[in-house]
Structure 1
Amino acid sequence: MGSEWIPPEVDSRRPSVARVYDYLLGGDHNFASDRDLATGLLRVEPQARELAQANRAFLRRAVRTIAETGIDQFVDIGSGIPTQGNVHEVAQRVNPDARVVYVDNDDVAVAHSRTILAGNDQAAVLHADMRSPEDILADPALKGLLDLSRPVAFLLVAALHLVKHEEDPAAIVAALRDAAAPGSHLVISHLTHEAEPGKTAAIGKLYDRASSPAVSRSHAEILRFFDGWDVLDPGLVYVPQWRPDEGETVDDPERFLVLGGVGRR
């Protein structure tokens, strides 16, 4: 693999959440520091790769479901490093006119996203931090592509658990809700300590070395992020349980450690 995807300002010695996730999904946009953290993660949670894949699969099912209701605008916040089955690919399979804005604060994720999306006039990439949702919503690139007076889907998939309590994750969701036209959707998946408190605490400790923490929350705390939204069936559940594809069954869903849900405004 060449190094043309590495932006000059990247600190390769500090693990990045986006790049650790990329490694778990089988990508090659990661450094030794990311692989070290991922190895530690696999020691604590041997199924970490399967968990990452289940989270991506939830994202794809949620996007497809929302696109099938006629929503054609998506904002993927904390989008990470593009991998197979990206939001624009899933949404545009349902509606070729769907538009997608990807948002991430990781330099490698943004640089690689821009390379992949070059020449795609229905997708844009913002280098921005979800902790400043007002900046995201006011960004000229977003406003040039999306019309926020129409319904939009905001995706916070495996994102809010990277925000510490004192950084007020609820305010992020509230700002998006207040900007959302009726008919808009919110997709959240989030690490929980409900089933495996010891394991999630160990994961949290590992992530203290990374670019963002991993803060697990209870089912009730995660559900509160949907205040002001109607949560669609089957509610806030372990990600493989959210509208599985036909014929898919899941044994022991608690082992997936991540809850997911979709709200409608």
Structure 2
Amino acid sequence: MTTDTPHPPRIDTSRAHPARVYDWLLGGKDNYPVDEAVGEKLPPEARDAARQNRQFMHRAAAWLAGEGVDQFLDIGTGIPTEPNLHQIVQRLVPTARVVYTDNDPIVLRHAEALLISHREGATDYIQADVREPATILERARAVLDFDRPIALSLIALMHFIPDAQDAHGIVRNLVATLPPGSCLVLSHAASDLYPELAEQVTAEYAKAGIQLGFRTHAEVTRFFDGLELVEPGLVTAPEWFRTAPAPDPEGSGIYAGVARIP
């Protein structure tokens, strides 16, 4: 697969971007001084949250692949960090098909790493924003069969979409396009677990022009309205696991959950 983007958009290095700050928090090198400046002002727990997010994605993707899910739509992909989602699922299901989406041009520059699929499967990358679902879905249909179950992955994404931009409506509309048996995989920063830390992180991102909308457990649960949460339900990222070994217990300001579409 290819990105079908002959002229990649220009990367704005004067403004921080969530994908690049996240890359810095994970210890990556694909970021700029403006992103590092934001990361350095965040509390140490922010790095823990980035790691916990990534580990949750690994566990959830592997479990879904083990359950037979072989189609994934990952929105808010971020800069490639191995193992990427397709590497995890294609180890278990070589024929799995994965579509990645992000709105940061630097992710497009690194999309080649996301397109090295197992020869029996397929991957694609879409340069688009979650607030442009029609664009995402139109391109995704070229790779994914929307008559069969699809896992929609929204990892650490929706807290960048404030209520004024109808975050819950965006997810509801995306889920509505998926057939029964599909799943929603979502992680989200909490406003009610460590309120002071949440306020500090929100303030530092705001100084960089990035608006955050951390949410309470009840508000994050709303993203799963009408769906069937699988055990252990909506818990913190380190608490979500389905197969042994269990992650080491640790504090977390990230909620995580997986739910099936009935």
- Fold agreement, TM-score > 0.5: yes
**Aligned counterpart, 1:3:** none
Alignment CA distance shift 1:8-1:249 (3 Å): closer
**Aligned counterpart, 1:63:** 61
Q: Report percent identity of matched pairs.
A: 39
Map 1:47-58; keep pairs closer than 5 Å: 47-58=45-56
**1:116 partnered with 2:117:** no
**1:133 partnered with 2:133:** yes
Give the residue type in structure 1 aligned to 2:75: I
Q: How far off its partner does 1:111 sit?
A: 1.6
Task: Provide the rounded CA distance (Å) in 2 between the counterparts of 1:211 and 1:70.
Answer: 41
Map 1:69-108; keep pairs closer than 5 Å: 69-108=67-106
Map 1:154-173; keep pairs closer than 5 Å: 154-173=152-171
- On the 8 A contact 1:16/1:211 being kept in 2, the answer is no
Deviations 1:129-180 (CA, angstroms, capped at 9, x unpaired):
00122221122xx222111111000000000000011000111111122111
Task: Provide the rounded CA distance (Å) in 2 between the counterparts of 1:125 and 1:211.
Answer: 26
Alignment CA distance shift 1:92-1:234 (3 Å): same
Give the residue type in structure 2 aligned to 1:261: G
Alignment CA distance shift 1:154-1:247 (3 Å): closer
Q: How far off its partner does 1:214 sit?
A: 2.1
**Aligned counterpart, 1:264:** 260
Alignment CA distance shift 1:247-1:145 (3 Å): closer
Give the residue type in structure 1 aligned to 2:125: V
- Gaps (5+ residues) in structure 1? 1-6
SS of residue paired to 1:144: coil
Task: Provide the rounded CA distance (Å) in 2 between the counterparts of 1:166 and 1:21.
Answer: 24
TM-score (norm 2): 0.91
Alignment CA distance shift 1:8-1:50 (3 Å): same
Deviations 1:59-111 (CA, angstroms, capped at 9, x unpaired):
01001111111110001101110101211001101100001100000010122
Q: How many residues align?
A: 251
- On the 8 A contact 1:132/1:172 being kept in 2, the answer is no
TM-score (norm 1): 0.90
Indicate which of 167, 185, 190 corresponds to 2:188. Answer: 190
SS of residue paired to 2:184: strand
Give the residue type in structure 2 aligned to 1:127: Q
Task: Provide the rounded CA distance (Å) in 2 between the counterparts of 1:211 and 1:84.
Answer: 29
**Aligned counterpart, 2:5:** none
- On the 8 A contact 1:60/1:90 being kept in 2, the answer is yes
Task: Provide the rounded CA distance (Å) in 2 between the counterparts of 1:48 and 1:143.
Answer: 35
Task: Provide the rounded CA distance (Å) in 1 between the counterparts of 2:257 and 2:135.
Answer: 25
Pairwise CA RMSD of aligned residues?
1.6
Alignment CA distance shift 1:178-1:65 (3 Å): same
Q: How far off its partner does 1:230 sit?
A: 0.2
